Amino acid sequence: MRTRANLISKFPPAFLSECVLDMATCGSVLSEEQLLCPICLDLLNQPVSTPCGHNFCKDCIQGYWQTSNVSQCPMCKQKFYRRPELKVNTFISDLASRFRKSVKKDNVENSTVDRSSSHQGQVLCDVCIGKRVRALKSCLDCLASYCETHLEPHNVLSTFKKHKLINPMMNMRDRVCKKHEKLLDLVCNTDKTYICHICVKEDHKAHHTVPIEDESQNRRAQIGRINAEVEKMIQDREQKINKIKEAARLSRRNTEKETEESLQVFTRLLQLVQNGHSEVAEMIDAKQREAERTASGLILELEQEINELRRRSTELEHLSQTEDNLYLLQSFPAYSKIPATKDWSDTVLESAVYVGVVRRGVRRVACQMEEAVKSEVKRLCETEFQRAQQSAVNVTLDPDTAHPKLVLSENNKQVYHGDLALNVPDKPERFYPGVSVLGKEGFSCGRLYFEVQVKGKTEWDIGVGLESVNRKGSSVLNPENGYWTLGMRNDKSYWALSNTPVLVPLVEKPQRVGVYVDLEWGQVSFYNVDSASHIYSFTGYTFNDRLFPYFNPRRNHGGVNSAPLIISSVNV
């Protein structure tokens, strides 16, 4: 022993740990239990050895001694009169570390193999260690599955040749009847459970039982149908995604187009302002230059006269200072007259005053802008109107909602107020006493547009209403009550029937009114179809219910308002 110990001591700890680890891998007596700390029951961490030869985690043994008055070994209870000085055993520490890494690696590999195989629906060999191989057969007697290698005893040994082998099956233990230890090969549809043949004789005689193979065929057919339905749902949703992407792409293209168009409009208007400002500035500058030029000319002429007068003043000063009296008298006649100059008393240079120049320039630019804005607004309205018409829908009147005195045409496209009430059933959806009728078609998403002829009428209300509007009793037409409508009164005034009605001044009396609704944007707009002009828009609303076209031809008034409201076809 001493010789062997001396021999072992010659090798470094790293080499010894490699050797021991190889032994463990090869299936020697080394196991995880031998590397566990007796206190925390986990792999040794910073292992230390007591004088009695037992190994512990350094923190575990120190913590144990701190809670005890006596230093002793937790295993053999040997007492130490003096607490030992503990040092980490590098050999055991390295061995535990390598063992921990090896176990972790094997667990990861086994977990990866099991997950991938299970995901693929493969049955794995129950005997294989490490990387498990696909099973070739399952044994009903052993209740296990074997790969080709581990199945060999069943093919060679007579003891195993009597065992019943079947195609590989997963979880063999779960496929055996707990009561009779027989294979579960039947389905009891009465009790919704899996049973063996003995169970049928004892507890399921009168029950409807089916072999698992037959039931599985039915389930496979059902799975096929469900899978086909799932595939159809996937295709439908992929198509929906493509439609949404296409809508988003179209929206982006429309946004870019609208942005570019608006930029062009404001650029043209800005150009008008800039040109007008340049013209006015040029006029002001020209007038200032003219004033400066005139002032410069006058100043030059005055300076010349001043120079001439100063020269004469100097000559007169010299003459007055001469001592030769005869020379003074002889020369005086030549200097007795003041040099000829211009009379400047009436000469006045007026400061530049721009009476009306700026205003005239601004008025001219404003007139140009007004014409340009009118032209742009008209063009934009026409474009907006044409886009609204692209959302045209077919609208017909719903007789079940019509007030008893409303008369509908056979094709449910016209309605007017009659003098006599019709004999119609009083249904919950029928309007009374409001003289109203809804369209038959309701809308909960997207956009819609329809046109109504109002020619010859003196009063009418047109728009859309929620399906949930109150149809019995009086109800004011406004968004608060679920109506977004435009109305005409007294053959001359037009009103947007909001919570506070808004008077809409119209130059042209519309003969046909277009109604456009964008449910996503919460917008309801009205147009004069003949002039392709915008009348009024409700914006910023949320529609929590289906919307229906709304029509109110108003009362007959003795034939004055007898013309019908006509849902006309849209000419895009």
d(CA 295, CA 347): 11
Please state, as a whole number, how many other Cβ atoms lie within 10 Å of the Cβ of residue 551.
27
Please check whether residue 86 is in contact with residue 51, taking contact to mean a CB–CB distance below 8 angstroms: no
Amino acid at 478: N
The answer to whether the Cα torsion of 140, 143, 148, 151 is positive or negative is negative
pLDDT in tens, the chain (572 residues): 343 334 334 444 444 444 444 444 433 445 566 778 877 767 888 888 888 888 889 888 888 888 777 788 888 888 887 888 888 888 888 888 887 777 666 555 554 444 444 445 688 888 887 777 889 988 877 778 889 888 888 887 777 878 888 888 877 777 788 888 788 889 999 988 999 888 988 888 889 999 988 888 888 999 999 999 999 999 999 999 999 999 899 889 988 988 888 888 888 888 888 888 888 888 888 888 888 898 999 999 999 999 999 998 998 999 899 988 898 888 888 888 888 888 888 888 777 666 566 667 777 778 877 887 778 778 878 888 999 999 999 999 999 999 999 999 999 999 999 988 899 998 999 999 999 999 999 999 999 999 999 999 999 999 999 999 999 987 899 999 999 999 999 888 999 999 999 999 998 999 999 999 999 999 999 999 999 999 999 999 999 999 999 999 999 988 899 999 999 999 87
Amino acid residing at 542: T
* Helix pair 212-320, 325-335: axis angle to 10 deg: 140
By CB atoms closer than 10 A (0-12, 13-18, 19+), residue 125 is buried
| Integer Cα distance of 236 and 541 in angstroms | 31
Please give the Cα distance from 415 to 413 (Å, whole number).
7
Is 519 within 8 Å of 466 (Cβ atoms)?
Answer: no
Residues 6+ apart with CB under 8 A from 549: 395, 438, 439, 441, 450, 463, 464, 515
Distance CA 483, CA 515 (A): 13
**Which tokens in the block code for residue 162?**
């009597």
Q: Is 441 buried (19+), middle (13-18) or exposed (0-12) by CB count in 10 A?
A: middle
CA distance 489 to 486: 10
How much is the pTM? 0.51
What phi and psi values does residue 85 have, to the nearest 5 degrees?
-85, 115
CA–CA separation, 461 vs 478, rounded Å? 11
Q: Residue 461: in which H helix or E strand, if any?
A: strand 460-466
- Which residue type does 353 have? V
